[in-house]
């Protein structure tokens, strides 16, 4: 591998008791599978995620108190240089057995626009890994500092179920030519786009177009979405979960209706870290449906985003140009 992330992990364990502990805990983590037939979610009882799940994302954070800026990083955290712009760090509160954070060296707000091609490049440079992104109001616990994350693709249910979703399942709309194209899927819990293309250039173009369109249609400052990019056997596999809500009503409810669940890419991709044990014990199919339907787009909205109807052309502001 061009970037020795395995070596980074070992070097990090060598110098930090915290890292050794949290990653060892993860090896023995309790999980529970919630089966929906053609796909599933995996619940993970992971108490170390409590800080991320309850992060105050409105808090004013500057380079003087930012945990992604070099001077204030997690104690003992070491970095691997990715390029002139990014460093790779080991995530101190992991969900995945190999969990990295790829941080911008500058304290700039979380933003994917303009970095689409870099993100695809990162996935290409980390074979076997999915590089993922949480937008500012969709699971990022550090909206104030640009970062991506990476985990092994084999750990993500959405990629295990890739062919099932691509070949059928409950597909809302389908554009499929020679196994190259993009799909819109609504599976009863969440809506997402899948891009499956053999050229880096086209994969990047579609990613940029979909994100630009989401930003325009939903009228947000930055496109609100959870995005994953993996490169496998020469195919670029991108999944985009458009988001409407940062946290579901259950997060703010009290009593039995309260769940400390704040979905990010991992959750949307099928791994739900539960920082609270009772959440881990109580989450069921109905609750998962409720939570995921709230934070992603309403299926009634889909025709507006249907590439079949639009041929997916956009003007320079990201506005869709429809072709009759």
Name the β-bridge partners of 243.
296
Among 118, 145, 147, 215, binds Zn ion (CB under 5 A): 145
Question: 228 vs 119, 123, 194, 231, 250, CA distance in Å?
Answer: 9, 9, 10, 10, 25
Instruction: Say how many C-beta atoms besides its own lie within 10 A of residue 252's C-beta.
Output: 9
Confirm or reject binding of residue 73 to Zn ion (CB under 5 A): no
Q: Note the residue count of the chain.
A: 324
Positive or negative, the CA dihedral 123, 7, 20, 81 is negative
Strands 129-134 and 100-104: unpaired
Pick between residue 42 and residue 55 the one whose CB is nearest to Zn ion.
Answer: 55
Point out the residue whose Cβ comes nearest to Zn ion. Answer: 66
Among 34, 42, 66, 302, binds Zn ion (CB under 5 A): 66
> Under 8 Å CB-to-CB from 255, ≥6 apart: which residues?
none
Pick between residue 106 and residue 313 the one whose CB is nearest to Zn ion.
Answer: 106
Stretch that binds Zn ion, among 27-35, 66-74, 188-196, 306-314 (CB under 5 A): 66-74
Confirm or reject binding of residue 69 to Zn ion (CB under 5 A): yes
Please give the radius of gyration of the chain, using alpha carbons only, rounded to the nearest integer: 19
Pick between residue 22 and residue 103 the one whose CB is nearest to Zn ion.
Answer: 103
| Window 75-114: contact mask with Zn ion (x via CB under 5 A) | --------------------------------x-------
Stretch that binds Zn ion, among 11-19, 119-127, 138-146, 258-266 (CB under 5 A): 138-146
Work out how close the CB of 69 gets to Zn ion at its nearest, in angstroms, rounded to a whole number.
Answer: 4
Number of residues in contact with Zn ion, rule: CB under 5 A?
A: 5
Question: 132 vs 53, 245, 255, 307, CA distance in Å?
Answer: 17, 18, 33, 23
Stretch that binds Zn ion, among 137-145, 226-234, 235-243, 252-260 (CB under 5 A): 137-145
Positive or negative, the CA dihedral 241, 242, 245, 246 is positive
The helices-and-strands tally (H runs, E runs) of the chain is 12, 15
Work out how close the CB of 125 gets to Zn ion at its nearest, in angstroms, rounded to a whole number.
Answer: 23
Stretch that binds Zn ion, among 19-27, 43-51, 58-66, 312-320 (CB under 5 A): 58-66
Work out how close the CB of 23 gets to Zn ion at its nearest, in angstroms, rounded to a whole number.
Answer: 24
Among 8, 53, 68, 239, binds Zn ion (CB under 5 A): 68
Work out how close the CB of 61 gets to Zn ion at its nearest, in angstroms, rounded to a whole number.
Answer: 7
User: What φ, ψ does residue 26 adopt, rounded to 5°?
Assistant: -65, -30
DSSP 128: T
**Distance, CA of 200 to CA of 266 (rounded, Å):** 24
**Distance, CA of 41 to CA of 33 (rounded, Å):** 6
Pick between residue 66 and residue 302 the one whose CB is nearest to Zn ion.
Answer: 66
**What is the contact surface with Zn ion in residues (CB under 5 A)?**
66, 68-69, 107, 145
């Amino acid at each position: 591998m061009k970037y020795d992330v395995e070596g980074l992990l070992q070097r990090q364990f060598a110098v930090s008791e915290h890292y050794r502990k949290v990653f060892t805990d993860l090896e023995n983590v309790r999980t529970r599978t919630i089966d929906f037939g053609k796909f599933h979610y995996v619940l993970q009882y992971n108490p170390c995620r409590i800080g991320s799940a309850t992060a105050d994302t409105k808090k004013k954070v500057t380079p003087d108190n930012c945990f992604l800026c070099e001077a204030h990083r997690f104690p003992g955290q070491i970095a691997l240089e990715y390029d002139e712009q990014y460093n790779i760090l080991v995530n101190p509160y992991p969900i995945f057995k190999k969990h990295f954070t790829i941080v911008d060296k500058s304290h700039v707000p979380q933003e994917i626009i303009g970095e689409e091609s870099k993100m695809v490049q990162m996935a290409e440079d980390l074979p076997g890994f999915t590089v993922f992104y949480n937008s500012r109001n969709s699971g990022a616990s550090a909206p104030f500092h640009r970062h991506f994350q990476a985990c092994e693709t084999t750990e993500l249910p959405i990629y295990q179920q890739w062919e099932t979703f691509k070949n059928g399942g409950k597909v809302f709309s389908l554009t499929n030519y020679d196994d190259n194209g993009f799909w819109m899927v609504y599976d009863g819990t969440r809506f997402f786009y899948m891009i499956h293309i053999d050229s880096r250039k086209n994969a990047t173009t579609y990613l940029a177009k979909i994100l630009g369109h989401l930003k325009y249609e939903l009228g947000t400052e930055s496109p609100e979405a959870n995005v994953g990019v993996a490169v496998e056997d020469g195919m670029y596999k991108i999944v985009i979960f458009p988001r409407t809500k940062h946290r579901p009503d259950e997060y703010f409810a009290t009593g039995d209706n309260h769940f400390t669940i704040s979905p990010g890419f991992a959750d949307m991709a099928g791994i739900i870290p539960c920082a609270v044990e009772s959440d881990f014990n109580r989450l069921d199919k109905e609750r998962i449906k409720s939570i995921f339907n709230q934070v992603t787009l309403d299926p009634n909205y889909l025709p507006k985003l249907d590439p079949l109807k639009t041929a997916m052309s956009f003007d320079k502001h990201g506005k869709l140009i429809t072709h009759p």
